[in-house]
């Protein structure tokens, strides 16, 4: 095995598709079959060795049924126990699938281990998968915001960690689908006006709350990475999935938070081995997007094409051969958004049969050359 290809793909509402495939309504079932065919064609064309499915079906049985339909040449990595061991609420689950015959051993990290490391790395600020967080609220009848101190938050969809052992070397892939920034309060007209936020404090509280929760989930992921480095200073770790972060410092971030999510996740350059590189660093900037949002009512002036889906990796997976480095190295120019394949598959089909609203993102990792002498 000289290389492996990792692909992460948010497959829109896969759980609903599983239900539609066995619908009593022939029209619903027929449309679902066409969409499943499109997904299967796209996965086959990408041909990943390791596939992270985001927004996948709920539960092992439905996930297995789905994978058998759309990726028959792959097998799921399952926990095989209590469904609660996945730590996932709702109907959007994450799944790792490996190509048949891939010469690796694989397992999923137990969530107890995640929580032990994050508890330690956060110096007790995160405890048992929960942590305190504060955000603005608007009381009934009030006109000004106040901060709720403290509230408590935890992962709605807990990250899943795939542990791959390849020729004795461990590579961990942290699969993420962080909290969405969808507003619970509808955005009223006039968002382009300079005093828009001043006139809508309830909306401000709403968008701040969702973004603050999202950022704390990102910080929890970072705590896990920091915890791993306490025992393994050259840990080979990949973070992949839908981070729901948008293009960076969006309008709300510029006004209230002034940070972007990926910068929080990447780490501190002063601790370089723990810093995360991005798979799309040398990918064409104009094509560095994975989702077309359409017109954003909250920020109508920004580009609708945003990068939600990411692959990042630690320094152990980069650079030249050196003591402690992983036997695997991210290929220069090996990261891409699979626009070409996605376009070819989707463009020959009606909208209802489009495989997903997200484009897949891939990265190739090569075995390092052996240095002799």
Residue 320 CA: distances (Å) to CA of 3, 36, 140, 167, 336:
16, 42, 60, 20, 22
* pLDDT at residue number 373: 46
| Cα(83)–Cα(65) distance, integer angstroms | 16
Which pLDDT does position 280 carry in this prediction? Answer: 95
137/140 Cα distance (integer angstroms): 10
Going by C-beta distance under 8 Å and a sequence separation of 6 or more, which residues neighbour residue 142? Answer: none
pLDDT attached to residue 211 = 87
| Three-class SS state of 45 | helix
- pLDDT, position 253: 80
| pLDDT > 90 in the chain, percent | 69
pLDDT, mean over the chain: 92
The values of phi and psi at residue 166, to 5°, are -120, 110
Tens of pLDDT, residues 118-132: 999 999 999 999 999
Pairing mode of beta strands 237-242, 169-177: parallel
Using CA atoms, how far residue 50 sits from 99, 103, 292, 336, in Å, is: 7, 12, 25, 15
- Note the pLDDT of residue 270: 63
Integer Cα distance of 66 and 61 in angstroms: 9
Q: What is the pLDDT of residues 263-306, one digit of tens each?
A: 888 887 667 777 899 999 999 999 999 999 887 778 877 788 99
- CB distance 313 to 238 below 8 Å: yes
- More confident position, 212 or 48: 48
Whether 87 contacts 67, CB under 8 Å: no
Other C-beta atoms closer than 10 Å to the C-beta of 196 total 18
Confidence of residue 218 (pLDDT cuts 50, 70, 90): very high
Tokens 């509808």 map to which residue? Answer: 186
Q: Residue 28 — pLDDT band, cuts 50, 70, 90? A: very high
Contact by Cβ (8 Å): 265, 321: no
Q: What is the pTM of this model?
A: 0.94
Per-residue pLDDT tens over the stretch 58-109? 999 999 999 999 999 999 999 998 999 999 999 999 999 999 999 999 999 9
Contact 258, 293 (CB under 8 A): no
pLDDT given for residue 247 in this prediction: 60
- Domains in the chain, please, with CATH? 3-367 (3.60.10.10)
């Amino acid at each position: 095995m000289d290389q492996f290809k990792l692909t992460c793909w948010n497959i829109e509402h896969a759980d609903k598709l599983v239900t539609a495939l066995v619908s009593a309504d022939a029209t619903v079932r027929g449309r679902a079959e066409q969409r499943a065919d499109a997904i299967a064609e796209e996965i086959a064309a990408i041909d990943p060795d390791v596939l992270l499915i985001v927004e996948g079906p709920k539960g092992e049985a439905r996930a297995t049924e789905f994978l058998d339909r759309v990726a028959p040449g792959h097998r799921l990595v399952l926990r095989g126990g209590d469904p609660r061991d996945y730590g996932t609420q709702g109907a959007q689950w994450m799944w790792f699938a490996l190509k048949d015959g891939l010469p690796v051993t694989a397992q999923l990290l137990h969530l107890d281990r995640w929580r032990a490391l994050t508890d330690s790395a956060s110096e007790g600020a995160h405890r048992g998968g929960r942590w305190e967080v504060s955000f603005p609220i608007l009381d009934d009848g009030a006109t000004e915001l106040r901060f709720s101190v403290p509230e408590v938050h935890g992962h709605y969809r807990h990250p899943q960690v795939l542990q791959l052992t390849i020729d004795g070397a461990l590579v961990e892939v942290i699969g993420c689908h962080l909290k969405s920034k969808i507003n619970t309060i509808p955005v009223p007209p006039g968002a382009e006006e300079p005093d828009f936020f001043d006139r809508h404090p309830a909306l401000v509280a709403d968008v701040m709350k969702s973004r603050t929760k999202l950022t704390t989930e990102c910080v929890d992921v970072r705590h896990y990475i920091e915890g791993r480095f306490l025992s393994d200073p050259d840990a080979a770790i990949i973070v992949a999935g839908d981070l729901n972060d948008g293009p960076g410092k969006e309008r709300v971030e510029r006004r209230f938070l002034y940070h972007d999510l990926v910068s929080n996740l990447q780490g501190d350059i002063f601790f370089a081995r723990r810093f995360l590189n991005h798979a799309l660093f040398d990918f064409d900037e104009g094509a560095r997007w994975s989702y077309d949002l359409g017109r954003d009512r909250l920020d109508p002036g920004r580009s609708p094409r945003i990068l939600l889906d990411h692959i990042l990796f630690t320094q152990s997976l980069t650079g030249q051969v050196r003591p402690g480095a992983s036997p695997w190295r991210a290929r220069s120019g090996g990261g891409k958004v699979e626009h070409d394949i996605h376009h070819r598959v989707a463009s020959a089909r009606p909208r209802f049969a489009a495989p997903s609203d997200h484009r897949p993102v891939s990265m190739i990792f090569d075995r390092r050359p052996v240095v002799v002498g």
